[in-house]
Amino acid sequence: MCAVFTITQGGADALSGSWLKGKLLKRVIEDGSGRVESATTTTRNLRQMSALVLTSIPRPPLPRPLSFMALSKARSVPKAAAPRVLPDCWGHRGASARFPENTLASFEAAIRDGAEGIESDVHVSADNVVVMFHDPALERTTDSTGQIRERNWHGEKGMQHVRTIKEPKQAIPTFAETVALLMRPENQHVKFNVDVKVQNDPDRLFKLMHEIIAAQPEWETVLAPRILLGLWHPRFLAFAKARLPYCRRSYIGDSPYIARKYFWADCDAFSMSFGAMTSADGQKFRAECKAAGKKLMVWTVNKPDHMMEAVRWEVNVIITDFTKTWLDMRSALETDYEKIGSQYGRIFLWTTPKFYTPFLIANSKQAKTYLERIAGPFDAIALPPAIKTEA
């Protein structure tokens, strides 16, 4: 069997950065016979090549469940028994495909859809109000400007008056307002994934969060077990353990290497980018999580064929902007798993450039560089004196 992949001039340019020179571009496809087909080339030749011809070479079969009998039959999904439990649905910034992201309207819509959890982000204003907002600045999604940490929440020009650009226009919710929503009797089953942005001072943020959490009735049993802290940088681990010891912790990111090295011992869940889990190392990491009893969540999964792939991986949670889409699909899978599952192929794993190893490596390096620029080197994580004293 032979297949041809075409590389455009632009694709060659994208792959010929200095960090990648001399590296090996490799995609591996396993067929039903156990033989592996491989495509390799050095990046110095990419500009001269218009196609890669894949030739069969003997190789032990990969454990990754990516088998098809032929590339032309890639949409024919192997039959498999339905997993006992299909992934939970967590609304990414709420039901953000339909409502302004990170607003009470978006959170409420996700809960109405039937989502088991909502995911949102936190920043702290200049006057110590914890707000639910993704970006460190207001410009992208609101009618205002400025860095959140430099703006007051209260006052005539406070952020309490800011509204979203997207309709229906909404206010920015505070952490306290969001907790109040989750404390309503009808919502006390909903989990709350708090994405802790690295622009925050972790000690200050977690102290403020604790004050709000501990002010709720029966918070230790009704609220605290439902909160999952999502941490990008290892600097935040010590503060989370000291200030919010009752909250579960997860790593958020796209690097299995970082997850293993810095977060494995202190987190019982891992929130990984969907793309990172498509790689060979991603497959290995999925198996490690399952063996260790660690929860695995994937984001941001918005396409039905990606949702189905996450189901095949047996992840615990799908984080999506399209809560209703996943919930409807999940309901259909529960009715007839094989029929519904067979409608979604896997060829996108080979035809989507961003799932190729060089792109995944580049994205991971870029993300780590950004995080270290904001919050410091990953290895400079000695406990601050205040935490040492109080521990």
Q: Is the pLDDT of residue 75 over 60?
A: no
| Domain extent listing, the chain | 4-73, 88-345
* CATH of the structural domain 88-345, one choice from 3.90.1640.30, 3.40.50.170, 3.40.50.300, 3.20.20.190: 3.20.20.190
Instruction: Give the model's pLDDT for residue 269.
Output: 99
Task: Tell me what the mean pLDDT of segment 281-286 comes to.
Answer: 98
**Residue closest to 281 by CA, chosen among 250, 303, 258, 251:** 258
- φ and ψ of 44, to 5 deg: -65, -20
More confident call, 199 vs 61: 199
Confidence band (pLDDT; 50, 70, 90) for 54?
Answer: very low
Mean pLDDT check: name the lowest of 164-173, 288-297, 377-386: 377-386
CA 141 to chain centre: 20
Q: Is the pLDDT of residue 3 over 60?
A: no
Instruction: Give the model's pLDDT for residue 381.
Output: 72
Query: Which DSSP string corresponds to 127-156?
Result: TS-EEE-SSSBSTTTBS--SBGGGS-SSST
Confidence band (pLDDT; 50, 70, 90) for 384?
Answer: low
Query: How do 51-53 and 4-6 pair as beta strands?
Result: antiparallel
Percent of the chain at pLDDT > 90 equals 75
Whole-angstrom distance, CA of residue 39 vs CA of residue 41: 7
Please say whether the dihedral angle defined by the alpha carbons of residues 254, 257, 259 and 263, taken in this order, is positive or negative.
negative
Mean pLDDT check: name the lowest of 66-70, 89-93, 357-361: 66-70
Q: Is the pLDDT of residue 223 over 60?
A: yes
Q: Is the pLDDT of residue 391 over 60?
A: no
Task: Tell me what the mean pLDDT of segment 370-374 comes to.
Answer: 98
Q: Exposed, middle or buried by CB within 10 Å (0-12, 13-18, 19+), for 381?
A: middle
Encode pLDDT of 339-352 as tens digits: 999 999 999 999 99
Instruction: Give the model's pLDDT for residue 320.
Output: 99
Whole-angstrom distance, CA of residue 244 vs CA of residue 239: 8
Instruction: Give the model's pLDDT for residue 21.
Output: 33
Task: Tell me what the mean pLDDT of segment 276-295 comes to.
Answer: 98
Confidence band (pLDDT; 50, 70, 90) for 184?
Answer: very high
Encode pLDDT of 138-183 as tens digits: 999 999 999 999 999 999 999 999 999 999 999 999 999 999 999 9
Encode pLDDT of 143-153 as tens digits: 999 999 999 99
Task: Tell me what the mean pLDDT of segment 178-201 comes to.
Answer: 99
Encode pLDDT of 4-53 as tens digits: 333 333 443 333 333 333 333 333 333 333 333 333 343 344 334 333 33
**Residue closest to 285 by CA, chosen among 318, 319, 251:** 251
